[in-house]
Amino acid sequence: MGSVIKYLLGLKDPSLVANFQKFCQIEILPGTESEKKDSESDYLSSSSHDSHVPNGDLHQRLAKTNGFVQNNSNGVINNEHCSQNGSIHSNNVDHLENVQKDCIQSEDKQETKYIVHSKFLYWTFRLGAGFGNEFFYLTFFTFCLWNLNSLVMRQMVIIWHAGMYLGQAAKDIIEWPRPSSPPCARLENRYLEEYGMPSTHATVGVIIPFGLIIIGHRHYEFDFPLPLIVAFFWATVCGLSRIYLGMHSVLDVIVGAAIGIILIPLMLPYVEALDNFQVTSMYSPLVVVGGEIFLLYIYPNATIWNTAKGDTATVVGIGAGIAVATWLNYQLGFMIPSDVAKPYHIPSLFTLISMIPLAEVRHLIGILVLVITRAVAKPVTHKLFCLYYNVDSKDEETQRKIGMEKPQKFAAYFCVGFAAIFIVPNLLRPLGLMRMSFYTEM
């Protein structure tokens, strides 16, 4: 057993990440902070620098004819702000002291430079990484809800919700850093403030495609081989993208995928009953919203602040909003069970193609409504919670200390989830743009 544990822990080694990057035609170059100007003059063919990078991460991209070179700051920089998981925090002395206690004190001031030699692999893995971000959820989930089958999506979202919550909570309990750079190169900065173990991208990369296929097969007649091939490709590219981009160790990805593999068979027997409860029970809003708030309340506190807690509040807020909106549709008499026997037949290819224009119009209008909802809900809920907690709306450090981020994000994304299932369909319905079978999917 000891040798097995030792082997598994060995999969945390960042050199494995670097080796995979090299295998995928990323050339990792030596270089130090003191060589920065020389390196720029050698490699810079067009002076293009990113003026700002999300989460405050120092980021610089250098163009080159045979690919591109990118520098990622790592360790202690000139202003002595320590880097936690590669992200730089400043202007908050108290927070900075807490960060420094937990940081790896890297004094070498090295940057990891690299050249991407295969643009095909680069964009393939960029696409795979996109399967786990907010933009993908906003577009893919809503397209399936409004244009395919909302019942299948609701049941899949229950499993996705559980996987995201467990994965994000595990990150803040285990607190393992992301792979160090060097030796690997970091091609992405988006999630550097979060811990690495496990990879929630790998978790949802398994749950979404395989969950949709298995749940969908309960309601529709189709052959398994082609969908399974697509699902396997989806999960593989999504998981490997995290290693390719230098964001996760091999062990992070394996554990993340394992969570998805375990959750699907564990939850599948119960998703229909859970969905039926959240749609039809008079106690559904109380139980669902109360349960989601309880999950946020017991969410573990990390040693230092990071974005995982807010991301989790986003997930549970969306889940609660979808549940309450579906319940309200049912209570108002909008939803009536279908009298067509299952499994349903999938329409012919010609019929599906003919449905695309209306589906796109429906989706574009719906997305516009959600974008407006999000744009209004975020500042409004932020202002309301600042008033409730009696804190300055610009004092982010105090807001973090009192835990305002969780309820604020929960409320904002509850509105987004609610709008997706209640406002958008009932706005499109009188216009003759809504899929009427949407109201029979229960």
Known catalytic residues are: 201, 248
**Sequence letter at residue 194:** E
Burial class (CB in 10 A: 0-12, 13-18, 19+), 192: buried
Number of Cβ within a 10 Å radius of residue 205: 29
- Token pair 């909003």 is found at 321
- Token pair 């390196």 is found at 39
Residue 359: closest CA among 167, 171, 139: 139
Q: What is the DSSP letter of 191?
A: T
CA distance 319 to 235: 22
CA distance 323 to 300: 25
CA distance 208 to 219: 17
By the 8 A CB rule, do 195 and 308 touch? yes
Is 395 strand, coil or helix?
Answer: coil
CA 278 to chain centre: 24
CA 226 to chain centre: 26
CA distance 231 to 51: 38
- Angle CA(241)–CA(102)–CA(197) in degrees, nearest 5? 30
By the 8 A CB rule, do 32 and 111 touch? yes
Number of Cβ within a 10 Å radius of residue 103: 19
By the 8 A CB rule, do 246 and 186 touch? yes
**Sequence letter at residue 240:** L
Q: Give residues with Cβ within 8 angstroms of 135, minimum separation 6.
A: none
CA distance 188 to 246: 7
Q: Which stretches of 31-132 are assigned E, i.e. beta strand?
A: 59-64, 67-73, 83-84, 87-88, 111-116
Residues in the chain, total:
442
CA distance 279 to 229: 33
CA 185 to chain centre: 21
